């Protein structure tokens, strides 16, 4: 989605969960902060079995680790080549992170009997996966 205000264009905005947003200029650190907030919200779900919560949290921890590793590799490669990140499409690291986010999103929605909050968090993770595919 694009917002214009008096000729000012902020580009794409990914509305993750109400107060959580990522843009095409968000950093890997901002992604990590948003992901950690979603992890906290998922852990706080009261009507989801503990084993499911633990499995989803572990998957999200691996996504965070993969994103951090991938961002570090990109920075090292860019410094070595003297180029800035081009964002010319997803890399294998992006696919790993996005895949993990999508798996947790699907698992949240598959809970069925859980609150609407679980489904909303699944949608938030899908939005983050889209951001990863374009901007990580």
**Burial of residue 81, with CB atoms counted within 10 A of its CB: 0-12 exposed, 13-18 middle, 19 or more buried:** exposed
Measured distance CA(49)–CA(70) in Å, rounded:
32
Measured distance CA(30)–CA(23) in Å, rounded:
10
Q: Report how far apart, in Å, the C-alpha atoms of 20 and of each of 32, 39, 44, 69, 127 are.
A: 12, 13, 17, 23, 11
Phi, psi (deg, nearest 5) at residue 113: -80, -10
Measured distance CA(95)–CA(101) in Å, rounded:
10
Is 50's pLDDT higher than 90? yes
Degrees to nearest 5, angle at CA 114 with 113 and 120: 125
Phi, psi (deg, nearest 5) at residue 115: -65, 165
Say what the pLDDT of residue 62 is: 93
Say what the pLDDT of residue 79 is: 47
pLDDT 10s digits, 81-109 = 444 444 455 566 788 899 999 999 999 98
Written as one string, the DSSP assignment of 62-76 is HHHHHHHHHHHHHHH
pLDDT band of residue 22 (cuts 50, 70, 90) is: confident
Say what the pLDDT of residue 89 is: 53
């Amino acid at each position: 989605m694009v917002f214009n205000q008096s000729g000012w264009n902020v580009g794409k905005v990914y509305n993750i969960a109400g107060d959580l947003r990522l843009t095409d200029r968000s950093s890997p650190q901002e992604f990590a902060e948003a992901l950690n907030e979603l992890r906290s919200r998922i852990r706080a779900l009261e009507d989801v079995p503990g084993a499911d919560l633990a499995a989803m949290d572990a998957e999200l921890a691996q996504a965070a680790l993969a994103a951090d590793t991938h961002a570090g590799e990109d920075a090292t490669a860019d410094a070595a080549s003297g180029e800035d990140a081009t964002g010319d499409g997803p890399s294998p690291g992006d696919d790993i992170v996005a895949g993990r986010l999508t798996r947790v999103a699907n698992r949240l929605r598959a809970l069925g009997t859980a609150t609407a909050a679980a489904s909303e968090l699944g949608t938030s993770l899908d939005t983050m996966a889209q951001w990863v595919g374009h901007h990580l």
